[in-house]
Chain A
Amino acid sequence: MIKYIIIFCLPLLLFSQDKFKLLRYDMVDDQIVSRGIRDEKVLDAFREVKRHEFVFQSYIDFAYQDRPLPIGYGQTISQPYIVAYMTQIIEPDSDDRILEIGTGSGYQAAILSKIVKEVYSIEIISELSASAESKLNNADFSNVQLKTADGYYGWEEYAPFDAIVVTAAAEYIPPPLIEQLKDGGKMIIPVGSPYLIQQLMLIEKINGEIKTKSLMPVRFVPFTRKN
């Protein structure tokens, strides 16, 4: 009986996996490449990482849609394009060591793990951290280290970092994070509500001096009415 069930279910399972793969490839083309993300390393990572494994079961059909999804505790898994933009903007390299503040679903860490050498990710909400750990706890993401802690202090043990990705919007940038950023390094931080991220803040440390640049991943528009 079990044999027949397996014979019957296996094609369905394979079909669903294939379906997600196709959706993932479409997501990369329709949402990411079309909006100007050209870094092949980034695009390959998005084709590889199964986003649907990082969302609630009830939202699995929406996993590849062009929008953020709730993951509980007032947090979201960001819109795919925002994750891609934040990844591209820090210009990740295969030798890089990256710090992520706010593991959330674990999706951003998973994407980064496909591109860089080491990813260190901190999540303050223990339930989210445990959930992300279970998703990232396999051979595919062996270069990701997770910690449940207050991201304010960074991860001094592994500092300095080539880049820091802050995934949750913050009203201030913790001074320890600036300290733990390598000279020449980049920090990216979103500004705004999870459903309305229109700005990202890029912070660069150049010869010890800190400069910021607000970036708008959305299409540039002059906010005057067309006459």
Chain B
Amino acid sequence: MSKKIHVSLSLVSAALISFQIVLMQILSITQWHHFAFMIISLALLGFGSAGTFISLYRDWLIERKETIIPASIIISGIFTVISIPLSQLNIFRFDTLLIFTDNSHLIKLMFTYFLLLLPFFTGAVSIGLIFVSYSGEISRLYFSNMLGSGLGGIFAILLLTIFKPQSAPVVLSVLYLFAGIVYQKSSNKKIITILEFSLLIIIITGWLVEFDFKISQYKDLSKTLNLPDAEIIAEKNSPYGFIQVAESDALRYAPGLSLNFRGNVPVHKAVFNNGDWVGAVISCDFSDTNSVFDFTTEALVYKLIKPENVLVLNAGTGENVIHASKYNPDNITAVEPNRALNYLMKYRLADDNDSVYYSDKIDLVELSPRTFLQKQLGNYDIIKLPMLGTFGGSAGLQAINEQYLLTSDSFELMFDRLTDRGFISITSWLDYPFRNPLRLLSTIIKGLQMKGIGEPQSHIISVKSWSTISFLVKKNRIRYTDIAAVREFCAKMSFDPVILPGIRPEERIRYNRIQDNGLFNFIDSLLSDNRQELINNYAFRINAPSDDQPFFSQFLKWNNLSEIGEYFGSNSVPFFELGYLIVILTFTQILIISLLLIILPLFRLGLTGEKKLQTFIYFTGLGVGYMFVEIVLIQKFILYFGNPVYAASAVISFMLICSGIGSYFSRSVPVNRIGLRIVLAAIILLILIYALMLDLLLKSTIHFEEIWKIILSFLIIGIPAFLMGFPFPLGIQKLDRSYREQIPWAWGINSCFSVISTALATLLSVELGFTAVLLLSMLAYGMTAGVTLFYREIKL
């Protein structure tokens, strides 16, 4: 078999993975990031449907493989360029927030789904047909496929660093063009040449005519751009997202401002990431107009302590850094993992923030806050967290985002990083139904309990304005001087204390009354010994998230869904947990489509006989097991390296490459039950060890030098990934000997269950935690092993 086929296969695999990542970025900009699940599913579903397609038309396709393989590669390249601009046409363009209120947007979503599926389907047809046509060489082919995919992940990161998101697909399509040219040995050269020429024209046109994608009218950036004379003054793309800076004469920012403020709320520039609000760009000029932050509940902590050093976590645009600098501490440590944002704040916007990050007193650390807390051992007078939730507590768009900074483990760590007189300060928007403040308090209390503090009320202070509630956690017990300072601050600002030793009920509603005083009862219950009863009975999840289930913003309890609908109207329910519901919807539709794709080829292959059940179980187990392990490892290494985007990409790419190498070496394993059983047993054993010990190993080495951490990670990811690359080609080789016509079906099953598992792993992580998902992956591999154990005349 020609080496050209391997090169072509690697190029197509790389392009497909890269396109998947680029598409995730584009949908995060135009809509919201939870469509990432839809994209992952689309990609894998493209593979699943290609498997079904090849199963149904196997002989016809193999006969014409020399034309169809390069043609589908080139067509995939064409769809890569045109599918996104087409999805932006008014007839196809959907809006997330209108899906639940306007059926036409549901139909548009379906059209978009179909359009974006096309590049994956056509690309996967070429890959699948290569696998089926040269199944005797599956180990090496699978190696090329995995190697290409792994490198594609890294390539996507480079692509998003250099190019704008809308230009990235055009660059990617060049890979398809090369792949097509490299493969070309068609008997029907004319068709292929025409297709290649068409792709070249489309690439040139796409490069010269840059299309502008339209973002949802409900995104923060859209609303800002509706303001008079609003314009984008700076842009920077990176794997973290597409950062844009907007300016308007009417753009002001003063969250939860006291109604006693009589100055002028200043106009700011503001930064958006993928169209979502990141923060305002404020100056260090503390004139009257810039004192707005002193008129918010966030200022309370500075009334209780004159800090010598301040730690600002998730510093964003530096609002909290600049506010802290007003109180002249000796040192401020700002922790912000987004490199592109930091670059903008340090260079492009330095004039606007008075070059705050050039001050000798301010250190900027590019790391995720959790990793910083775990790595650094300094102590701080104030640890400041960014504001939590959204104004009005709406939309639930963060529901499936892992938030390691908001877990009980994180609060335990923060507590350790306080000086004896230090405070943790965190503010939340007041929402209704009450969710964020209650869960936050519950998490703080759990963190304190983990430190052995039995009376949380002696360490927690809380005050509220008309729209925000701030919590302070003090290392030592609260003193009378603290209490007096809180009361004085509240009286001056027309704020109300909510948690304070010796508080009187009427103090809580002196300036800002709430119709549902249940909030105070719930807070008191959480502070009492009866907290578990409230947590169990409350309509929403308000238990403390842990590192194993770090989904702070996922509040939905399934068994209360109908009750919530009854109270708030069924139209409102989706907006409580939009992110989570979209994953569920994605999962449901994928499940239905995948099952159809799996069943469909059986009409050609026959419903029974020829060990189809074994084939089904074997490849299902592999699909589920692999994706479950991958998703858990991504989460573990995000925390380990403190850089979500790069860590996730590195884990995915490295796993794919190692599995590819595993596949390559699988040729040396005897294709029999014994060989398979040994490999599967080793995988299961490794997963078990990881479920029991991985957290411990990572926590105890997180402070190691970066190079040692990378080496260790290579081993931790590489060993199981290498082994996990064996069973698929071994299974295909077995089928090649006995039931060759089942190969595309098996490939489709594996792809379909990889799709299902992606969404399922997220749902299971939210409900049961990462450790449970890891144990379930063991079960999945166990299922595959079971097929080799319990059938006497095993063919697999």
Contact = CB atoms under 8 A, between A and B. Distances in A.
Interface of A: 66-70, 72-74, 124-126, 150, 152, 169, 171-175, 178-179, 190-199, 201, 203, 209-216, 218-227
28 contacts: A70-B101, A72-B217, A126-B228, A152-B250, A169-B391, A171-B253, A171-B254, A173-B257, A174-B265, A175-B262, A195-B97, A196-B392, A196-B576, A198-B568, A198-B572, A201-B467, A212-B259, A212-B512, A213-B513, A214-B432, A214-B466, A214-B512, A216-B432, A219-B567, A221-B433, A223-B433, A225-B563, A227-B537
A216 B572 CA distance: 14
B2 interface: no
B539 interface: yes
B518 A223 contact: yes
Contact of B217 (A66, A73, A152): A73
Nearest to A215: B515
A171 B277 CA distance: 13
Contact of A152 (B265, B431, B569): B265
B256 interface: yes
A147 B677 CA distance: 77
Contact of B538 (A126, A174, A224): A224
Given A171-B254, A196-B576, A225-B539, A191 B391 contact: yes
- Find the residue from A72, A179, A194 having the highest chain B CB count within 10 A: A194
B223 interface: yes
B540 A223 contact: yes
A225 B518 contact: no
A70 B222 CA distance: 15
Interface in B222-281: 222-223, 226-228, 249-250, 252-257, 259-265
A214 to B, nearest CB: 5
Contacts of B569: 66
Contacts of B217: 70, 72-74
A192 B572 CA distance: 12
A72 B430 CA distance: 28
Contacts of A219: 567
Nearest to B536: A225
- Find the residue from B226, B255, B537 having the highest chain A CB count within 10 A: B226
A199 B217 CA distance: 23
Contact of B515 (A169, A173, A174, A220): A220
Given A171-B255, A225-B563, 11 more contacts: A171-B254, A193-B394, A193-B395, A198-B433, A198-B572, A199-B432, A201-B466, A220-B515, A222-B518, A225-B537, A227-B537
Contact of B392 (A191, A213, A223): A191
- Interface of chain A: mostly helix, strand, loop or mixed: loop
A223 B437 CA distance: 14
Nearest to B525: A224
Nearest to A227: B537
A192 B392 contact: yes
Contacts of B560: 225
Given A150-B249, A152-B265, A171-B254, A220 B572 contact: no
B186 to A, nearest CB: 49
Given A73-B217, A195-B575, A225-B539, A172 B252 contact: yes
A220 B394 contact: no
B534 interface: yes
A216 B517 CA distance: 11
Contacts of A74: 217-219, 222-223, 226
A224 to B, nearest CB: 5
B464 to A, nearest CB: 10
A179 to B, nearest CB: 8
Contacts of A213: 512-515
A211 B538 contact: no
Contacts of A203: 259, 466
A194 B522 CA distance: 27
- Find the residue from A74, A215, A227 having the highest chain B CB count within 10 A: A74
Interface in B507-565: 511-516, 518, 522, 534, 537-540, 560, 563
Contacts of A194: 218
A171 B97 CA distance: 20
Contacts of B253: 171-172
A172 B457 CA distance: 30
A225 B572 contact: no
A152 B252 contact: yes
A223 B434 contact: yes
Interface string B89-104: 0000000011011100
A175 B538 contact: no
B668 interface: no
B401 interface: no
- Interface of chain B: mostly helix, strand, loop or mixed: loop
A124 B371 CA distance: 44
A55 to B, nearest CB: 12
Nearest to B220: A74
B386 interface: no
A224 B525 CA distance: 12
Contact of B391 (A70, A171, A178, A216): A171
Contacts of B513: 211-214
Contacts of A66: 569, 571
B494 interface: yes
B392 A199 contact: yes
Given A175-B261, A175-B263, A212-B511, A218 B567 contact: yes
B675 interface: no
Contacts of A209: 494
B537 A224 contact: yes
Nearest to A213: B513
Contacts of B392: 169, 190-193, 196-199
B393 interface: yes
B567 A221 contact: yes
Contacts of A215: 515
B249 A220 contact: no
A33 B394 CA distance: 27
A175 B264 contact: yes
B192 to A, nearest CB: 45
A141 B102 CA distance: 31
Contacts of A171: 253-256, 391, 467
A124 B227 contact: yes
Contacts of B102: 70
Contact of B228 (A70, A124, A221, A223): A124
A46 B391 CA distance: 30
B108 to A, nearest CB: 13
Contacts of B227: 124
A220 B516 CA distance: 7
Contacts of A69: 101
A192 B393 contact: yes
Nearest to B430: A214
B200 to A, nearest CB: 40
Contacts of A173: 257, 259, 466
Contacts of A225: 537-539, 560, 563
B467 A191 contact: yes
Contacts of B256: 171-172
Contacts of B430: 214
B36 to A, nearest CB: 22
- Find the residue from A172, A199, A219 having the highest chain B CB count within 10 A: A172
B539 A224 contact: yes
- Find the residue from B101, B466, B540 having the highest chain A CB count within 10 A: B466
Contacts of A197: 392
